[in-house]
Amino acid sequence: MRSAKDFFRPLAVGAPTPLTEIPARPSRAIHFFDPSNEKMAAKVPQMVGTVDVLLGNLEDAIKADNKVAAREGLVTIAQGTDGLGGPQAKTQLWTRINALDSPWALDDLTTLVPAIGDRLDVIMVPKVQGAEDIQYVDRLLAQLEAKAGLDRPILVHAILETARGMVNIEEICGASPRMQGLSLGPADLAADRRMKTTRVGGGHPGYLVRQDPPVNDLGISEVDANRTTYQQDLWHYTIARMVDACAMHGIYPYYGPFGDIADVVACEDQFRNAFLLGCVGTWSLHPKQIAIANRVFSPSVEDIRHARRVVAAMGDGTGAVMLDGKMEDDASLKQCLVLVELAEQLAAIDPELKKQYDALDGEEA
Ligand SMILES: CC(C)(COP(=O)(O)OP(=O)(O)OC[C@H]1O[C@@H](n2cnc3c(N)ncnc32)[C@H](O)[C@@H]1OP(=O)(O)O)[C@@H](O)C(=O)NCCC(=O)NCCSC(=O)C[C@H](O)C(=O)O
Ligand SMILES: [Mg+2]
């Protein structure tokens, strides 16, 4: 472990100085595309500006025979697409490299950083098991950045998809000042934990609680009676764990994939649960999931109306007031400020949202 004194020193001579704070750039949807798929690649330029993050995927879902084509395709796309990636871009450019125990990960990094390191905002590392994985990537990136003459550090995002990664979650978050955030990888995590769901994210009808049985006049429980069941969220514990670890380390938590592309309703529910629990965004696997993510991970006009009224009513921010029959105080003010600040960040990049929030300006507090 590095000492506190050394933590923010570059890990290679000439590498950019690490950031002391991870910028809160909007990232409601991290949209995955396969850079070796011509049809998907052709859609990238028109998606710039409509989605917060475009992620060139090199890992799972890319056939082994296409790994090199995907890597080279990503270089071509990054070099040839205006407005994609870099600190000022409206649409960030991320990649998901291959797993560190695969034969491709090293070539992914040594190819991408010199070629498009100035465009790449975040590198997502799959199947992270512990701090050692992040430290390996951290040192290698510093060497490659120094060699390429880059002037800002590329950030790192870890996917939680093993039981060991979950157990080591705090040390992963704190392993490097490059750590930008965490995503849930529900498919790999389910397999590693030997969970019995075969779905890619989302709920499961078998994971439920059932209403108590009615009791008859003889005091006997009628277990065969019709009883309401309530489906539970298989991922609640994992997401909540991830949110706490990220908040503690000043980095950002994300829900991961929702594989039932056709079920846009359940997808929206899963995304909203993650938003309410504290996640800042999610993955999008299909173009139709982008609009869902943008909608869900943007505070509603109603929420912002209420939050602004609380801010106005609270004056200097201390004490307690009654608003619409409810108590508001220093703590609920902080809750409201979370939403107001998020709305400001999103309005800065999303003109339609800005218009909706601005329309509240004339309203009485
Ligand atoms: C899921 C898909 C395979 C579906 O593709 P397809 O059957 O082609 O869908 P459509 O016919 O509805 O597509 C309509 C058009 O849109 C284009 N398209 C589709 N998906 C994308 C996309 N992601 N980006 C850009 N464009 C896209 C199609 O080419 C069609 O174009 P056209 O014919 O010209 O109209 C496919 O969506 C897909 O492969 N998505 C990405 C899958 C992926 O990245 N998976 C990996 C992430 S999830 C994971 O790894 C699990 C995780 O790690 C864990 O452990 O949990
Ligand atoms: Mg996975």
Q: Which residue has the tokens 């139709």?
A: 288
Q: Is 287 in the pocket of ligand 1 (CB under 6 A)?
A: yes
Q: Report every protein residue that has its C-beta within 5 angstroms of ion ligand 2.
A: 161, 185, 188
Which residue in this structure is represented by tokens 């890990």?
11
How far does residue 116's CA lie from ligand 1's centre (Å)? 24
Number of C-alpha atoms within 13 angstroms, CB side, residue 290? 16
Please give the number of the atom of ligand 1 that sits closest to the Cα of 57. 44
Question: Given this model, what pLDDT does residue 363 score?
Answer: 82
Residue to mutate (ligand 1; options 48, 189, 286; most atoms within 8 A of CB): 286
Q: Is the CB of 121 under 6 A from ligand 1?
A: no
pLDDT for residue 362? 80
Which is nearest to 242 in space by CA: 186, 284, 285? 186
Instruction: Give residue limits of the domains in the chain.
Output: 4-205+230-297, 302-364
> Tell me: the pLDDT tens digits for 23-80?
999 999 999 999 999 999 999 999 999 999 999 999 999 999 999 999 999 999 999 9
Q: Report the separation in Å between the CA atom of 161 and the middle of ligand 2, taken as the mean of its atom positions.
A: 6
Atom of ligand 1 nearest to the CA of 60: 50
Q: Quote the pLDDT of residue 364.
A: 62
CB of 286 shorter than 6 A to ligand 1: yes
ipTM, two decimals: 0.99
| Whether the Cβ atoms of residue 135 and residue 173 lie closer than 8 Å to each other | no
Closest CA to ligand 1's atom 19: 286
HEC secondary structure over the chain: CCCCCCCCCCCCCCCCCCCCCCCCCCCCEEEEECCCCHHHHHHHHHHECCECEEEEECCCCCCHHHHHHHHHHHHHHHHHCCCECCCCCCEEEEEECCCCCCCCHHHHHHHHHHHHCCCEEEEEECCCCCHHHHHHHHHHHHHHHHHHCCCCCCEEEEEECCHHHHHCHHHHHCCCCCEEEEEECHHHHHHHHCCCCCCCCCCCCCCEEECCCCECCCCCECCCCCCCEEECCCCHHHHHHHHHHHHHHCCEEECCCCCCCCCHHHHHHHHHHHHHHCCCEEEECCHHHHHHHHHHCCCCHHHHHHHHHHHHHCCCCCCEEEECCEEEEHHHHHHHHHHHHHHHHHHCCCHHHHHHHHCCCCCCC
Q: Is the CB of 40 under 6 A from ligand 1?
A: yes
Model pLDDT for residues 156-178, shown as the tens digit of each residue: 999 999 999 999 999 999 999 99
Q: Is the CB of 46 under 6 A from ligand 1?
A: no
- Superfamily of chain region 4-205+230-297: Phosphoenolpyruvate-binding domains (3.20.20.60)
The predicted pLDDT at position 365 comes to 63
- Report whether residue 45 contacts ligand 1, using a CB cutoff of 6 Å: no
pTM of the model: 0.97
Cα-to-centroid distance, 350 and ligand 1 (Å): 25
**10-residue stretch averages of pLDDT, the chain, 365 residues long:** 92 98 97 98 97 98 98 98 96 98 98 98 98 98 98 98 98 98 98 98 96 97 97 96 98 98 98 98 98 98 98 97 97 98 95 96 76
From 31, 34, 38, 40, the mutation candidate for ligand 1 (largest count of ligand atoms within 8 A of CB) is: 40
